[in-house]
Amino acid sequence: MNFYKLCISFLVFIFSTNLSAAEQNDIVVFSGGESAGGLTQNELTSEMLLAIELKTKKTILDKNTAIMKAEGVINPSVSVDSSAVYVNVEGLKLAIIKVTVDLYQSKVHQIHFFGIKGPQLLRLICISTTKEPVPISYGKCYEEIKKVYGVDVLKGSN
């Protein structure tokens, strides 16, 4: 599968995934999955990581801008900062995208996880409802990573 097919698979995943949500305290978690379409962990390259990061960032920016415009905000001010890394955890390669959304001086912290488990492409999103970054070494997001991917991120390495 070439790079462009991988990007197309990712885009299809982003726009067609049925997400389920769980909420506890100050972290909201969404998870979903679909067929990986033949995509394997070996095809999760640095180019793919960059494409996932850029698409995630653009989707968040576009959706937040559209919401603010729909609410009547003229010239909405939205900025999205992100960083991305792969982590290998118990034989599973996870793409982790850390995102900070700045909406008129108010910051929202998110972490997006993408990984292939068997024939499934799985996505997990953890969003902080406070000004604090999302912890992944304990709490709701940590537990959801174990549940969705079947791995313990504390056992990971780069």
Q: How confident is the model at residue 12 (pLDDT cuts 50, 70, 90)?
A: very low
Looking up tokens 């997400």 gives: 19
Question: Which region among 14-23, 58-67, 91-100, 119-128 has the lowest average model confidence (pLDDT)?
Answer: 14-23
pLDDT at residue number 25: 62
Residue pLDDT, tens place only, 47-57: 999 999 999 99
Residue 62 or residue 153, greater confidence: 62
Query: What is the residue-wise DSSP string for 7-74?
Result: HHHHHHHHHHPPPEEEEETTEEEEEEEEE-TT--GGG--HHHHHHHHHHHHHHHHHHHHHHHHHTT-S
pLDDT at residue number 131: 84
Looking up tokens 């912290």 gives: 109
pLDDT at residue number 55: 95
Structure tokens at 34: 């679909």
Share of the chain above pLDDT 90, in %: 56
Beta-carbon contacts of residue 74 (< 8 Å; ≥ 6 apart): none
pTM recorded for the entire structure: 0.81
